[in-house]
Chains A and B, each alone.
Chain A
């Protein structure tokens, strides 16, 4: 898609997502819900940003605003320098939902082919991408199964493969590994990190797990609820190439501690 760039594959300063003073109020029958309030956030190309915070603090909503699935009621946001709507129409991102959302009438491989069909890719291109991404999430051999024949975790992996098959420069992932067991989660964390390193994608990643956030991210955004706000932004300067062992290092534990403190402080607003 992009013309070959000469810049080094490191984190560049080009801003992919720029959010200023953004607020979102849901009008409900029981009055307005301040889902997001005065959010300021800048995400540069190649960054891996985790959103972490208690349930209901607006993580999903923020991700949906970026994806143009929800409209902000105040403030401004650009994605790749254009409005979220334009970015969506440009197919600028891939989105992994909190639930798998596979279509039950399609087999796993046809589910992964869905976005590729819509993009109008050739059959060969579709097939090679399906095979590659099924392999990435360890689902090779299940291509002819229907979603309801797989476990919840396998379905979620299929939905990740579907988002990756689009090969977007920006990945928006809403608790993609929430339904998986620890070992599979570790494996997919490593795979995702490798993919990110190799392709210089920008990732916005919602999670409830502090170790996961610290392990994956270059930046952790701690949010707090009612109204949903950015409580703290923690830079995470672990080496770009890391293995799961990094989780034992003092540096890792120190960042994890900061995140935990931030979450605690955010929670205390409630009481």
Chain B
């Protein structure tokens, strides 16, 4: 654990593609110089083309040329600055160009995006020591994510996409900020009262039944085919029945979650128990180990990669299950309820805000499980890296 091994990373962009893409960025910028940046309504109400400012083009081209000229950190920094200063200025001007962006705007955006891509590629090739590398490893996906949001914002606003179809991230962000108490209540209802208990019950039950199935082989023949069938049950069909049986409250959501995740857990755990090698099992036999000792010292640790696989799949399934179940009946709170009602009122930004919360909750949940997994199954060939 203590060694600082540098895992070889695959470059995000093949070497031979890099320079051509730089030239493409320069080409975009040059063309932008001769096409309008936007069409702004004048005093007479007639849209007039606005020339692309030469200064912006100079910044981009300077960065592009510098990146070819300087391969070291200096080049990285110039490249980073030119891409992001341009993008920053475009973002700053964006509100004025709502629905009015011209080819110049899109070409400059494409140019700065190409340069930013180069930055990410060059950064991910860099090797640093200790915490600096950790920071860099963190910075790269963050930069990537920010650019996704940026492009989303620019395209939706610049092209004038109706907000009902797709609101820009800035509006979703603003909506999240002003509806925090509402979103928090929804999160509590769906995640803390539905997903989490359902997850614990479903995974726990799946595991316990797996141990029983393992001990009583006839169950294996009977239960596993049923399990495979049950995991193919459409949640759309199950959810309304559960709501009918268990009411609008969280118990029906828990029931749906349990039904969805029980069998993946069961099947994976049984497969994991069966995966212990013959020689490893023979070893236990030579020690005259009891069933329980063989289970706890060999078959359970050996099954951990399988079990964590199920735990990860189930974290996603549980969230989907609880949200969809709310479509079929819930109190007037909950993420699924929010999505279905606000969608009906065409409050798309609140729908998106809820989706963002769900995505954040789901990926945090998944990430935590993956973190525990890394601690426990570090020995598995797939984790040793």
Chain A residues near B (Cβ < 8 Å): 64, 67-69, 88-91, 93-95, 97, 99, 101, 103-105, 114-115, 117-119, 146, 148, 166
Chain B residues near A (Cβ < 8 Å): 277, 279-280, 282-289, 293, 297-298, 301-302, 304, 377, 379-381, 384
- How near does chain B come to A70, taking the closest CB pair, in angstroms? 10
- How near does chain B come to A269, taking the closest CB pair, in angstroms? 30
B279 touches A119 (CB 8 A): no
B279 touches A91 (CB 8 A): no
- How near does chain A come to B180, taking the closest CB pair, in angstroms? 43
A67 touches B297 (CB 8 A): no
Query: Beyond the given A64-B282, A105-B302, could you list 17 further A-B residue pairs with CB under 8 A, ordered by the A residue number?
Result: A67-B286, A69-B282, A69-B285, A88-B286, A95-B283, A97-B283, A101-B277, A101-B282, A103-B302, A104-B379, A105-B301, A105-B304, A105-B379, A114-B287, A117-B297, A148-B381, A148-B384
The residue from A94, A104, A114 contacting B380, defined by CB atoms under 8 A apart: A104
A88 touches B285 (CB 8 A): yes
B288 touches A89 (CB 8 A): yes
Complex: A152 Cα to B283 Cα, angstroms? 18
16 contacts between A and B (CB under 8 A): A69-B282, A88-B288, A89-B288, A97-B283, A99-B279, A101-B279, A103-B280, A103-B297, A103-B298, A105-B302, A115-B287, A118-B287, A118-B288, A148-B379, A148-B381, A166-B287
Complex: A99 Cα to B282 Cα, angstroms? 12
When distances are taken between beta carbons in the complex, the residues of chain B under 8 Å from A69 are: 282, 285-286
- How near does chain B come to A44, taking the closest CB pair, in angstroms? 22
When distances are taken between beta carbons in the complex, the residues of chain A under 8 Å from B285 are: 68-69, 88
When distances are taken between beta carbons in the complex, the residues of chain B under 8 Å from A114 are: 287, 297
When distances are taken between beta carbons in the complex, the residues of chain A under 8 Å from B302 are: 103, 105
- How near does chain A come to B373, taking the closest CB pair, in angstroms? 13
Complex: A69 Cα to B279 Cα, angstroms? 10
The residue from A68, A119, A146, A148 contacting B287, defined by CB atoms under 8 A apart: A119
B279 touches A97 (CB 8 A): yes
CB within 8 Å for A118 and B282 given contacts A103-B301, A105-B301:
no
Complex: A114 Cα to B381 Cα, angstroms? 22
B286 touches A95 (CB 8 A): yes
Name the residue of chain A whose CB is nearest to the CB of B289.
Answer: A118
- How near does chain B come to A108, taking the closest CB pair, in angstroms? 13
- How near does chain A come to B357, taking the closest CB pair, in angstroms? 37
CB within 8 Å for A146 and B379 given contacts A91-B288, A114-B297:
yes
When distances are taken between beta carbons in the complex, the residues of chain B under 8 Å from A64 are: 282
Which of A89, A97, A99, A103 lies at the interface centre, i.e. has the most chain B CB atoms within 10 A of its CB?
A: A103
Complex: A105 Cα to B304 Cα, angstroms? 10
- How near does chain B come to A95, taking the closest CB pair, in angstroms? 4
When distances are taken between beta carbons in the complex, the residues of chain B under 8 Å from A89 are: 288
Name the residue of chain B whose CB is nearest to the CB of A94.
Answer: B286
B287 touches A101 (CB 8 A): no
A118 touches B297 (CB 8 A): yes
Name the residue of chain A whose CB is nearest to the CB of B297.
Answer: A114
A118 touches B384 (CB 8 A): no
Name the residue of chain A whose CB is nearest to the CB of B304.
Answer: A105
- How near does chain B come to A161, taking the closest CB pair, in angstroms? 14
Complex: A93 Cα to B287 Cα, angstroms? 9
Complex: A166 Cα to B301 Cα, angstroms? 23
Name the residue of chain B whose CB is nearest to the CB of A115.
Answer: B287
When distances are taken between beta carbons in the complex, the residues of chain B under 8 Å from A91 are: 287-288
- How near does chain B come to A98, taking the closest CB pair, in angstroms? 8
When distances are taken between beta carbons in the complex, the residues of chain B under 8 Å from A93 are: 286
CB within 8 Å for A97 and B282 given contacts A103-B298, A103-B301, A118-B293:
yes
Name the residue of chain A whose CB is nearest to the CB of B377.
Answer: A105
Complex: A90 Cα to B286 Cα, angstroms? 10
- How near does chain A come to B275, taking the closest CB pair, in angstroms? 13
- How near does chain A come to B202, taking the closest CB pair, in angstroms? 26
Which of B288, B293, B377 lies at the interface centre, i.e. has the most chain A CB atoms within 10 A of its CB?
A: B288
Complex: A119 Cα to B280 Cα, angstroms? 17
When distances are taken between beta carbons in the complex, the residues of chain B under 8 Å from A90 are: 288
CB within 8 Å for A101 and B379 given contacts A88-B286, A89-B288, A119-B287:
no
- How near does chain A come to B30, taking the closest CB pair, in angstroms? 56
When distances are taken between beta carbons in the complex, the residues of chain A under 8 Å from B280 are: 101, 103
Which of A64, A88, A97, A118 lies at the interface centre, i.e. has the most chain B CB atoms within 10 A of its CB?
A: A118
- How near does chain A come to B80, taking the closest CB pair, in angstroms? 40
- How near does chain B come to A79, taking the closest CB pair, in angstroms? 12
When distances are taken between beta carbons in the complex, the residues of chain A under 8 Å from B277 are: 101
Complex: A103 Cα to B298 Cα, angstroms? 8
- How near does chain B come to A113, taking the closest CB pair, in angstroms? 10
When distances are taken between beta carbons in the complex, the residues of chain A under 8 Å from B286 are: 67, 69, 88, 93-95
When distances are taken between beta carbons in the complex, the residues of chain B under 8 Å from A118 are: 284, 287-289, 293, 297
Which of A69, A88, A93, A166 lies at the interface centre, i.e. has the most chain B CB atoms within 10 A of its CB?
A: A69
When distances are taken between beta carbons in the complex, the residues of chain A under 8 Å from B379 are: 104-105, 146, 148
When distances are taken between beta carbons in the complex, the residues of chain B under 8 Å from A99 are: 279
- How near does chain B come to A100, taking the closest CB pair, in angstroms? 9
Which of A64, A89, A105, A117 lies at the interface centre, i.e. has the most chain B CB atoms within 10 A of its CB?
A: A105
Complex: A69 Cα to B281 Cα, angstroms? 10
When distances are taken between beta carbons in the complex, the residues of chain B under 8 Å from A88 are: 285-286, 288
- How near does chain A come to B3, taking the closest CB pair, in angstroms? 10
